[in-house]
Amino acid sequence: MQANERQLLPLEVAPLTSTFFARLRGQDLLRSRLVYIASSPVRVARTPRLAAQTDGDHIFKLVWQLRGGALMTQGGQTIRLAPGKMTIYRLSSPYQLHTHGDYRALMLKVDLADMPEWRRLAERCEGLAIPVDAAAHAALAALRVQLRWGSDPSIGQVEDAALELVFGSFWRYQREQLYNAPMPSERLTKARRVVLERLADTLLAPEDLAYALNMSVRGLYDEFRRYRMTPPAAFIRELRLEQCYLALLDATPQRRSITHIALEHGFSDGAHFARVFRKRYGVSPGDLRARGKQLG
């Protein structure tokens, strides 16, 4: 697959059939690289040596699965990709991709070094098989057109619009997962529900979680340690921040002020909230809110 290094980053390629074929078509956009790939079954690997050549850990690849299927393994986690699914992953981490059937995919390599708010969303969705919703489907259609039109003067506008649509999809997916993602145990599921129901309670503490779960404080800490979770206090703080993060990206017309969002999620001091938020996400609440306007 000699076209591999021209269109994609270097990979180790092992065809899985005697009649192997691959067809790649690529297009440079303003801040990303777009590639359409069609191939017979193949196993590809970005080895540790090849991954180490990536210029930083802020370069990601977004993949829309169009036809056929694939198993992707990265960081000890394996996901199954089928038509109607998409995923995003970091190119500085080694991975393996094992395709089957009549494989078709559209891939977008994008550098998020100067987009900390989008990078955070990419990290949250990294290595997940995410359903392609209407917005992500529209982004896919817009990008596929670029492969036919080539270097069109409007390419930057199309690229920006497509990325806004995709990251809007990621935001909606994460908002849903915050409430519904599986937890390691029923007690931890209930603990999450208690925290989410009492986000505005600035006095909420591990002792309150233990009481709600009908267990001792020591038993509560043991439960979190058993499943290698962060300690209860950090768990509460993380859920507060996650909810604030999603609220700041919310593009609905009825907007609340940043101070209001901080208060209703249990932060009693706006300046403290801004410091903690920036430390956690690498972006200020105000800058993230500006990105939320674009997502809307």
CA dihedral 155, 281, 264, 176 (to 10 degrees): 60
- Mean per-residue pLDDT for 94-117? 90
Tally DSSP H helices, then E strands, for the chain: 12, 9
Looking up tokens 């249990």, which residue turns up? 266
3 pLDDT band, cuts 50/70/90, is very low
Contacts of 139 (CB under 8 A, 6+ apart): 161, 162, 163, 165, 166, 169
Residues of the chain above pLDDT 70, percent: 92
- What is residue 121's predicted lDDT score, i.e. its pLDDT? 82
Residue 93, both tokens: 């981490």
Cα–Cα–Cα angle for 271, 123, 286, nearest 5°? 25
CA distances from 109 to 36, 58, 187, 217 (A): 11, 11, 40, 47
255 vs 15: CA distance, rounded Å:
53
Phi, psi of 231, rounded to the nearest 5 degrees: -55, 155
Higher pLDDT pick, 68 / 247: 68
73 vs 147: CA distance, rounded Å:
28
Contacts of 151 (CB under 8 A, 6+ apart): none
- What is residue 118's predicted lDDT score, i.e. its pLDDT? 82
- What is residue 171's predicted lDDT score, i.e. its pLDDT? 82
Determine which of 50-64, 86-100, 250-264 has the lowest per-residue pLDDT on average.
250-264
pLDDT tens, position by position, 30-56: 888 899 999 999 999 999 998 888 888
Contacts of 174 (CB under 8 A, 6+ apart): 121, 124, 125, 246
41 vs 67: CA distance, rounded Å:
12
From the list 130, 117, 136, the residue with the least C-alpha distance to 181 is 130
Pairing of strands 59-74, 32-39: unpaired
Residue 165, both tokens: 């649509």
Residue 271, both tokens: 């300046």
Confidence check: pLDDT of 61 > 90: yes
What is the phi-psi region of residue 75: left when phi exceeds 0, alpha when psi lies from -120 to 50, beta otherwise?
left
Query: Which pTM was predicted?
Result: 0.71
From the list 7, 68, 9, the residue with the least C-alpha distance to 36 is 7
Q: Sort 288 into a burial class: Cβ within 10 Å, 0-12 / 13-18 / 19+.
A: buried
Amino acid code (one letter) for 127 = G
pLDDT tens, position by position, 159-218: 888 888 898 888 888 878 877 888 899 999 999 999 999 988 999 999 999 999 999 999
Q: What does the mean pLDDT of the chain come to? A: 86
Domains of the chain and CATH, by start: 4-180 (2.60.120.10), 186-295 (1.10.10.60)
Question: Can you spell out the DSSP letters for 44-91?
Answer: EEE-HHHHTTSSSTTEEEEEEEEEEEEEEEETTEEEEE-TTEEEEEET
pLDDT tens, position by position, 112-160: 988 877 887 888 889 899 999 998 999 999 888 887 766 666 777 888 8
From the list 183, 182, 141, the residue with the least C-alpha distance to 162 is 141
Residue 121, both tokens: 């969303």
Q: Report yes or no: 104 and 68 within 8 Å, Cβ to Cβ.
A: yes
